[in-house]
Amino acid sequence: MRAGRNLLAVAAVIICCLAVLFATSIKGGPKTYEVQPWITVPEYRTDAARAINAYERLMDRYMDLTEHNLFNVSTDVRDVLKRLDCVDQKLTEVCVRIARIEKALGIEQPIESIAPIEQKPQPTPHGSPSASSGPLPVTDYTAEKN
């Protein structure tokens, strides 16, 4: 009987060892939960930071407005140049017609309008030309084209 008890004790020890072995093989660990609150605290900003941000927004708006206005000015200048080219072309045609009419009627051009005499403005005591020094020379572009 003693051998049976020893055998029973050995069997109990083996069963306990197997129970401990299987108990450690179960990989269970404590679960952790991460909670993310939706409540946010606004950042602390000084008056200087608020003023700088307001100035940056103002400058962005100003630059956008300036860009828009420059585009409009460019479009307007392009339209004005087209009109001036049209007016210049019509004036050239009128000058040519007048020259033909004068030639057909035998009207001679005065010498001053063909070759204007250049006058140098007289300097003032300070070295700059004065408004009373006389008219500035005018070049006649129509005489060069004919």
Decide if 139 contacts 112 (C-beta within 8 A).
no
Domain layout of the chain by residue ranges: 48-120+135-146
User: pLDDT (tens digit, 9 = 90+) per residue, 9-44?
Assistant: 888 889 888 887 776 555 656 778 788 878 887 778
Q: Is 143 exposed, middle or buried (0-12, 13-18, 19+ CB in 10 A)?
A: middle
pLDDT tens track for 108-142: 876 665 555 555 555 555 554 444 444 555 455 55
Contact between 120 and 135 under an 8 Å Cβ cutoff? The reply is no
* Total-model pTM: 0.36
